[in-house]
Amino acid sequence: MSESKVYKNYINGEWVESSSGQTYENRNPANTDDLIGVFQKSNEKDVDAAISAAENAYDGWRLTPAPKRGELIFKAAQKLVEKKEMISRDMTREMGKVIKETRGDTQEAIDMGFYMAGEGRRMFGETTPSEMPNKFQMSVRQPMGVCAMITPWNFPIAIPSWKIFPALVCGNTVVIKPATYTPLSVLHFMEIFEECGFPPGVVNMVTGSGGAVGEPLMRDPRVKLVSFTGSSEVGSLVSQACAPEFRHCMLEMGGKNGQLVMDDADLDLALEGALWGAFGTTGQRCTATSRVICHKDIVKEFTERLVEQAKKIKMGDGLDESVDMGPAVSESQMNTVLEYMEIGKKEAKLLCGGERQTGGNYDKGYFTQPTIFGDVTEDMRIFQEEIFGSVTSITTCDSFEDGINKLNNVVYGLSASVYTRDVNKAFTAMRDVYTGIFYVNAPTIGAEISLPFGGTKATGNGHREAGKQALEVFSEWKAVYVDFSGALQRAQIDNN
């Protein structure tokens, strides 16, 4: 079970050890006896080598026709299809979420690959008529150079794919630092780039900690864009690191997503949605349903039924197909979640869970019980703060308007949903809830790659991942004017 394979960094098309000579162990959070592998504990010198490789590869890649770049990306997506099961199983071992979810994670990377491959043949610009005679004008996208990516552990291959594929199709080169807890998924991704014949240096990976790898990576002036997914605290540091030279950054951060259940809702559906939204991925999604706002007329029935269902959730090793919920990703994540459970017990009414799951095999992992708090009000920390674990809360609203206000009354703005059979209410909520993602009669999780992913307020800095909007992040516009009149034509002057 515990083969201690040593995995290396991927720099300039080669698998190389860190110049630090140091490594770290990555263990299965469902069973810490299971050693996934030993990874490079990289440093500033490794980051420097990776950025140099990406910089050297840039001209060759930028000048490769975009349809050809798209074809290579298509090949990579096909390889992901071939390797889907292997990648997903390794992902469950290193991250803990259940196998049907890791298959979904890999599928999201496949979807993104096929989508962005097509962009190689689109990447549309515009032409518009000039004010002047015999003058032509158009806008074209241009790549930016070396893009750095700092990715999280909760979607170990999907989120790297949201960043890498659009960056590459636009003609940029890449250095990625995967999350410390989930390097193997990104490493498998690198193997695919190698097997598909991407030129050396076009994609590079350096493993290690945020301090030793992420810091120098985000600070290097040769990096033209930093794409980061993680906490709002770290996102703010990324933003400050990029600000002095006006380097771009794309930040995708916290959420405190709410599901509003109205008195006319299909309660069975709303219940299923809340369970999946709150406890899917052990609540470790930025889009997780960590608040359920229930209309006062149904709150009692809804609460009873939600608690009854949550108690039936089977925890365990995610490779066991009968398991519903895996562990927290790490000991420190588990401890954060346990702290919030204690905070919740002081502030609100504990309805189920509230502890670490112990006994038998559970002791070998970081399992936290599905936990629901009732009587939660807006002033409470568990209403306001992102927990990122198996905890959700129930808040009562008196009316539809009150429900909308409660959905909006947090610093984050990633995702929200409404369950109602009233089409007028559905459209009003769709308009008035200020989030980047909104669902009608569906949970707060489950975004697809063809639409923009991201949030308002403290969730982001105005950018979106996925969809055609991703191209806005990874390219810059150039306006081109071609004057074929043979004379000087002064804009705004000679034509008036």
Catalytic residues: 252, 286
| Per-residue burial over 251-288, b = 16 or more CB atoms within 10 Å of its CB, e = otherwise | bbbbbbbbbbbbbebebeebbebbbbbbbbbbbbbbbb
Mode of pairing for the β-strands spanning 476-483 and 9-11: unpaired
Q: Which is nearer to ligand UN1, 200 or 446 (CB)?
A: 446
| Position 445 contacts ligand UN1 (CB under 6 A) | yes
Q: Which is nearer to ligand UN1, 109 or 192 (CB)?
A: 109
Smallest distance, ligand UN1 to C-beta of residue 450, A? 12
For residues 260 and 310, give the distance between their C-alpha atoms in angstroms, rounded to a whole number: 18
Residue type, 272: E
Smallest distance, ligand UN1 to C-beta of residue 286, A? 4
| Position 446 contacts ligand UN1 (CB under 6 A) | yes
Smallest distance, ligand UN1 to C-beta of residue 278, A? 12
Beta bridge partners of 37: 26
Q: Which is nearer to ligand UN1, 192 or 447 (CB)?
A: 447
For residues 367 and 282, give the distance between their C-alpha atoms in angstroms, rounded to a whole number: 9
| Position 387 contacts ligand UN1 (CB under 6 A) | no
Print the binding letters for residues 62-101 with ligand UN1: x by CB under 6 A, - otherwise: ----------------------------------------
Number of DSSP helices (H) and strands (E) in the chain, helices first: 15, 21
DSSP one-letter code for 466: S
Smallest distance, ligand UN1 to C-beta of residue 458, A? 15
Residue at token pair 């889907």: 84
Among 180, 282, 287, 475, binds ligand UN1 (CB under 6 A): 287
| Position 286 contacts ligand UN1 (CB under 6 A) | yes
Print the binding letters for residues 95-124 with ligand UN1: x by CB under 6 A, - otherwise: -------------x----------------
Smallest distance, ligand UN1 to C-beta of residue 239, A? 19
Q: Which is nearer to ligand UN1, 72 or 391 (CB)?
A: 391
Smallest distance, ligand UN1 to C-beta of residue 438, A? 12
Q: Which stretch binds ligand UN1 (CB under 6 A): 83-91, 280-288, 308-316, 359-367?
A: 280-288
Start-end of H helices in 147-280: 158-169, 183-195, 215-219, 232-242, 267-279
Print the binding letters for residues 162-201 with ligand UN1: x by CB under 6 A, - otherwise: ----------------------------------------
| Position 439 contacts ligand UN1 (CB under 6 A) | no
| Position 425 contacts ligand UN1 (CB under 6 A) | no
Q: Is 62 exposed, middle or buried (0-12, 13-18, 19+ CB in 10 A)?
A: middle
Residue 150 sits at the vertex; the CA angle it makes with 85 and 434, to the nearest 5 degrees, is 95
Q: Which is nearer to ligand UN1, 40 or 287 (CB)?
A: 287
| Position 145 contacts ligand UN1 (CB under 6 A) | no
Contact by Cβ (8 Å): 299, 396 = yes
| Position 388 contacts ligand UN1 (CB under 6 A) | no
Q: Which is nearer to ligand UN1, 270 or 286 (CB)?
A: 286
Residue 384 sits at the vertex; the CA angle it makes with 156 and 276, to the nearest 5 degrees, is 45
Q: Which is nearer to ligand UN1, 70 or 230 (CB)?
A: 230
Name the E strands within 219-320. 223-229, 248-252, 257-261, 289-295
| Position 452 contacts ligand UN1 (CB under 6 A) | no
Q: Contacts with ligand UN1: how many residues (CB under 6 A)?
A: 9
Print the binding letters for residues 331-360 with ligand UN1: x by CB under 6 A, - otherwise: ------------------------------
Q: Which stretch binds ligand UN1 (CB under 6 A): 37-45, 284-292, 328-336, 373-381?
A: 284-292
**Token duo for residue 198:** 């991407």
For residues 78 and 151, give the distance between their C-alpha atoms in angstroms, rounded to a whole number: 23
For residues 449 and 427, give the distance between their C-alpha atoms in angstroms, rounded to a whole number: 23
Q: Which stretch binds ligand UN1 (CB under 6 A): 91-99, 220-228, 233-241, 283-291?
A: 283-291
Q: Which stretch binds ligand UN1 (CB under 6 A): 18-26, 219-227, 282-290, 318-326?
A: 282-290
For residues 392 and 348, give the distance between their C-alpha atoms in angstroms, rounded to a whole number: 12
Q: Which stretch binds ligand UN1 (CB under 6 A): 94-102, 281-289, 333-341, 483-491?
A: 281-289
Number of Cβ within 10 Å of residue 293's Cβ equals 26
Smallest distance, ligand UN1 to C-beta of residue 256, A? 12
CA distance readout (Å), 387 to 115, 178, 328, 422, 451: 32, 22, 12, 32, 26
| Position 154 contacts ligand UN1 (CB under 6 A) | yes
**Token duo for residue 338:** 């346990």
Q: Which is nearer to ligand UN1, 255 or 353 (CB)?
A: 255
Smallest distance, ligand UN1 to C-beta of residue 61, A? 28
| Position 285 contacts ligand UN1 (CB under 6 A) | yes
End-to-end Cα distance, the chain: 79
Number of Cβ within 10 Å of residue 128's Cβ equals 10
Residue 104 sits at the vertex; the CA angle it makes with 99 and 110, to the nearest 5 degrees, is 130
Q: What is the dihedral angle through the alpha carbons of 242, 158, 435, 174, rounded to the nearest 10 degrees?
A: 20
Number of alpha carbons in the 13 Å side-chain half-sphere of residue 70: 13
Residue ranges in contact with ligand UN1 by CB under 6 A:
108, 154-155, 285-287, 445-447
